[in-house]
Structure 1
Amino acid sequence: MTRSPTRSGSAPQDADAEALRQRALAALLTARERTALLTDSVDDHELTSQHSPLMSPLVWDLAHIGNQEELWLLRGVAGREAMRPEIDGLYDAFEHPRATRPSLPLLAPAEARAYAAEVRGRALDVLDGTALDGDRPLVQAGFAFGMIAQHEQQHDETMLITHQLRSGPAVLAAPVPPTATDAADLPAEVLVPGGPFTMGTSTEPWALDNERPAHVRDVPAFLIDTTPVTCGAYQGFIEDGGYAEQRWWAPEGWAMVHEHELTAPLFWHRDGGQWLRRRFGVTELVPADEPVLHVSWYEADAFARWAGRRLPTEAEWEKAARHDPVSGRSRRYPWGDEDPAPELANLGQRHLRPAPAGAYAQGRSPYGARQLIGDVWEWTSSDFLPYPGFSAFPYREYSEVFFGPAHKVLRGGSFAVDPVACRGTFRNWDLPVRRQIFAGFRTARDA
């Protein structure tokens, strides 16, 4: 079912509520277009295959997207009875780990598509008839619809990771990102003076529970890389024996290096005197000026130690990205409060790779750091923990069950992240061993 992002057949609504409705509708339609691209670009065999035990079959993600939309929008918002209650358990991410999902009696591709389309048609009717300016927390400011759009886009990023892991010829294509015209003139690092700033948010309408509430953090002065660490810089670490020197590695990271015989980022291999990588079915030279990608937290941490630096804390990263020293306030994004645009950041799968380090000058932060939003997720040194005053909403399993030292925080988003699921306050987290995700890093040091 397709609709243009306009509303018809309804009584006039408050202008702000109608703007929210249009934003929610556009976000849902954009997400579904991307889901279709990622699932229609391969045949049914590839949809049902497991390309890596780290990931679900693509057909599981497709039906899971529909099931979560039914759960929250049709049942949660509209109070309707379940369409397919017998499949709820199959698509419960907590009930079945990814490695075992291929053995489940999953919906076949055609049935999964039909189910997701039927849910979407009904969900758009719910959006059309739901007041977004009332006092119901789930729908206030269109939250539930924004949450579902973000959820679908997060699974679209997961499916794009699966595309990167699959073997076979390329099935996706995208133009190259813009170049960095003044990269040679940029300082290696920028100074962020010490002092308080407002971290998190209490006003962003679609912010998720772990981004809330806004609170003041006092951060000592530090210096942070102007751009993410590049492939060329990371090659220096490799050539200097970085993967063979235990002193750079956390104990668990060193054990990982030995267990898996790691010598380079995931998808890299050496051919003679050259480093090559596989990217969405294409083998190419590793570009020296591009942010390094597919490194674990342990690899990022080891590089930082080797370079005589460290990973930034989550609070340092956010202050570098959001704090405006002139006004003293925290912006929504490094460049200001306006939504992302193509000239500001590499988001939304517009390009299938990071842009060269130093690109997107218009998207720089007030301190001069670039590419803090988009291109690569950036590992921080921080464990994933709740903010003071945290309250789980609308369910504990989104954030609360992951809090603790097992997961490290990533910030900033990647080229695979849609703008609806990326903000200056957005927090991602993962296990420090993860390498298949679109993650890189930048380093910092005390001032």
Structure 2
Amino acid sequence: MSGLRDQLSSALSRARRRTDALTECVDDADLVAQHSPLMSPLVWDLAHIGNQEELWLVRDVGGRDAVRSDIDELYDAFKHARSTRPSLPLLAPNEARRYVGEVREKAWDVLDASRFRGRRLEENGFAFAMIAQHEQQHDETMLATHQLRGGPAVLTALPVPAAVTPVREREVVIPAGEFVMGTSDDPWALDNERPAHRVFVDEFAIDTVPVSNADYVEFVEDGGYRRRELWSECGWRHRVESRLEAPQFWLDDGSGHWWRHRFGVLEPVPPDEPVMHVCWFEAQAFARWAGKRLPTEAEWEKAARWHPASGRSRRFPWGDDEPDHRRANLGQRHLGPAPVGSYPKGASPAGVRQLIGDVWEWTSSPFTGYPGFAAFPYREYSEVFFGGDYRVLRGGSFGTDPVACRGTFRNWDHPIRRQIFVGFRCARDT
């Protein structure tokens, strides 16, 4: 039990260090500003993190008195759209810091007293893991806000590793057959990852690595944004209305060279990195241009988890061991994706690389529940998003923490979204 307590303490502490780093590197004016109508002010995310921790750990699991019950509605993500949050009477930066600090002190007391059994919410420390994942998810959202803010660079990280092991095969074939999709055993998996169920997948081929910037430049220069036949009806309408010409944050200098803004730095677009900040419609158009398509969610997961020798679905492409810096680019260790072909130690048995970390990957699948889905511990985490136009993303990005990333983890967003750290790889029928 002490091992589990230490594991949860480490996950919560790591999340808080990252939250502090993302909010202390800018001044108060930056914290309260809205850098895009798609994003909340950073100070809202900060206090929301504390409020969720108070609701679930302090009040629910701990059964303790409220710290600030008067702000619950302010920080309820379903009560106020992101675009309206700057107009709310939010806690000032110093108030927000004091609040999340006080909540965390009480949460430590609850963790120390917990026996990790009884209610399902408390079994195996689920509530604490859920809150660590929640904070890390908002940290990635705040990282995306930093990408959207103007002004000079304020974030630092280790340089992206340059060493790449050459990839011999452009794609690999995954044979037809059943595999176990989702999980019923992972104690910290969220409701939309459950339950485990068997899925038959026809034989298909999938790209060994994500689509690179160099690949995408070829699509752009071949008139990909002008060729109506490559786009779906909805995609073409969005392309025209939003005047899409290239990935978000890319600039054409007029001489055939592409540049990009990344975290306050203007730099040439590196050809060997995975393309990033493209919407689902752009990914779909590229795939058609390449004579391929986007993989389904089941295809992506089979490529990532299925072991052909044992027939077992593993937690990660490389096995069941936790991610580390040799296997995947996660946790904001770097401020961008590694070159395509990196992390050979993280490859799947079939040789597919970078399925975990670097960039989220669009799939063709809509977001819905698995057979036997049951909302837990609240409908608003997953169920309320079923049935819309959301598309599933898989694999995590360089900004995703390992606690919130595994082979079964599911993310989702509208097909027009580009501010997230998302790219894609292609698949095809065989």
Give the shorter-chain TM-score range: over 0.9
Deviation, 1:180, is 4.3
SS in 2 for 1:404: coil
TM-score after normalising by structure 1 = 0.95
Letter in structure 2 aligned against 1:381: S
- Residue matched to 1:266: 248
- Residue matched to 1:318: 301
Deviation, 1:405, is 4.1
Tell whether 2:37 aligns with 1:21. no
2: CA distance between counterparts of 1:357 and 1:186?
Answer: 12
Runs of at least 5 residues in structure 1 that lack an aligned partner in the other structure: 1-16
Question: Is this contact kept in 2: 1:186–1:226, CA < 8 A?
Answer: no
SS in 2 for 1:191: strand
2: CA distance between counterparts of 1:232 and 1:180?
Answer: 18
Tell whether 2:46 aligns with 1:62. yes
Letter in structure 2 aligned against 1:116: V
Tell whether 2:352 aligns with 1:376. no
CA shift digits 1:225-255 (9 cap, x unpaired): 0000000000011001000111111111111
Question: Is this contact kept in 1: 2:330–2:398, CA < 8 A?
Answer: yes
Letter in structure 1 aligned against 2:5: R
Tell whether 2:412 aligns with 1:429. yes
Question: Is this contact kept in 2: 1:186–1:358, CA < 8 A?
Answer: no
Alignment: residue pair count: 429
- Residue matched to 1:285: 268
The 4+ residue runs of structure 1 with deviation greater than 6 A are none
Question: Is this contact kept in 2: 1:231–1:287, CA < 8 A?
Answer: yes
- Residue matched to 1:12: none
Structure 1 residues 182-261: aligned runs within 5 Å? 182-183=165-166, 185-261=167-243
Choose which of 109, 113, 137 in structure 1 pairs with 2:97.
113
Question: Is this contact kept in 1: 2:177–2:200, CA < 8 A?
Answer: yes
CA shift digits 1:241-270 (9 cap, x unpaired): 000111111111111111121100000010
1: CA distance between counterparts of 2:169 and 2:329?
Answer: 21
TM-score after normalising by structure 2 = 0.99
Question: Is this contact kept in 1: 2:305–2:316, CA < 8 A?
Answer: yes
Question: Is this contact kept in 2: 1:180–1:357, CA < 8 A?
Answer: no
Tell whether 2:17 aligns with 1:33. yes
Choose which of 85, 90, 96 in structure 2 pairs with 1:101.
85
Question: Is this contact kept in 2: 1:180–1:358, CA < 8 A?
Answer: no
Which deviates more from structure 2 when the two are superposed, residues 265-274 or residues 150-159? 265-274
Deviation, 1:192, is 0.5
2: CA distance between counterparts of 1:380 and 1:124?
Answer: 39
Choose which of 420, 426, 429 in structure 2 pairs with 1:443.
426
2: CA distance between counterparts of 1:325 and 1:71?
Answer: 44
1: CA distance between counterparts of 2:421 and 2:232?
Answer: 22
CA shift digits 1:76-109 (9 cap, x unpaired): 1011232211110100000000000000000000
- Residue matched to 2:341: 358
SS in 2 for 1:196: strand
1: CA distance between counterparts of 2:259 and 2:157?
Answer: 20
Deviation, 1:182, is 2.4
SS in 2 for 1:244: coil
Once the two structures are aligned, what percentage of the paired residues are identical?
A: 66
2: CA distance between counterparts of 1:425 and 1:179?
Answer: 29
Deviation, 1:45, is 0.3
2: CA distance between counterparts of 1:214 and 1:135?
Answer: 23
Tell whether 2:22 aligns with 1:44. no
Question: Is this contact kept in 2: 1:196–1:218, CA < 8 A?
Answer: yes
